[in-house]
Amino acid sequence: TARTASGGDAHAALEALRAEASGCQRCPLWQPATQTVFGEGPADARLLFIGEQPGDQEDLAGRPFVGPAGQLFDRALAEAGVDRARAYVSNAVKHFKFEPRGKRRIHAKPNGGEIEACRWWIEQERAIIRPTVTVALGATAAQSLLGRAVTISRIRGQPMALADGSEGWVTVHPSFLLRLPDEDRRVEEYARFVADLRRIGERVT
């Protein structure tokens, strides 16, 4: 695809940042993880999504949101009419944090120090891409984006002014939907998630 001069520069800057992040040791999470899972998508994306951290499958593949949460995210985006290929998708924390349990690796929540250490990367990604809209998926992403712990239910589904003047949104994380035990509640929350994504998509079309 044709790129403007600045778009080409952004692409090169993003690739340089990705290469640098592959050796990141800013916090101890790099050691047991397979690899850094950097963000993915066009350098001129108008929409940027932030997840929590790579899961087991993302850690092995080296790509964000390719496992069960990613598949649900893909389905919700498609239903909301948002093209994932035109968005940039990244995570607040770029190494998989887990507890070994037998042969399995169980997801562990990143702590405040790990979120803070990794915040440098997502801020660089946002500074290069300069998206019109940044979306935090869940509490970890919201904490990284806003610099403070927030309650998702209180601030979801409404535009917020970010420090750089661009627009921020917060919604739930797709894994939250996967964990809901009640079928009716799951259907209801999934519909709310799709509705949030649809409204967000309208901001960049």
Q: For the purposes of burial, counting CB atoms within 10 Å of the CB of 199, is it exposed (0-12), middle (13-18) or buried (19 or more)?
A: middle
Rounded to whole angstroms, the Cα distance separating 98 from 167 reads 32
User: Which of 7/123 has CB closer to ligand URA?
Assistant: 123
User: Which of 49/202 has CB closer to ligand URA?
Assistant: 49
User: Which of 7/32 has CB closer to ligand URA?
Assistant: 32
Angle (deg, nearest 10), helices 68-80 and 183-202: 60
Helix H or strand E segment including 106: strand 104-107
Rounded to whole angstroms, the Cα distance separating 92 from 10 reads 20
User: Which of 168/205 has CB closer to ligand URA?
Assistant: 168
Least separation in angstroms between residue 122's CB and ligand URA is 12
End-to-end alpha-carbon separation of the chain, Å? 19
Least separation in angstroms between residue 1's CB and ligand URA is 25
Mark 94-122 as b/e (b = at least 16 C-beta within 10 Å): bbbbbeeeeeebebeebeeebbebbbebb
Least separation in angstroms between residue 138's CB and ligand URA is 7
Least separation in angstroms between residue 53's CB and ligand URA is 6
User: Which of 43/137 has CB closer to ligand URA?
Assistant: 137
Least separation in angstroms between residue 144's CB and ligand URA is 11
Given the rule CB under 6 A, which residues bind ligand URA?
51-55, 58, 64-65, 67, 69-70, 91, 175
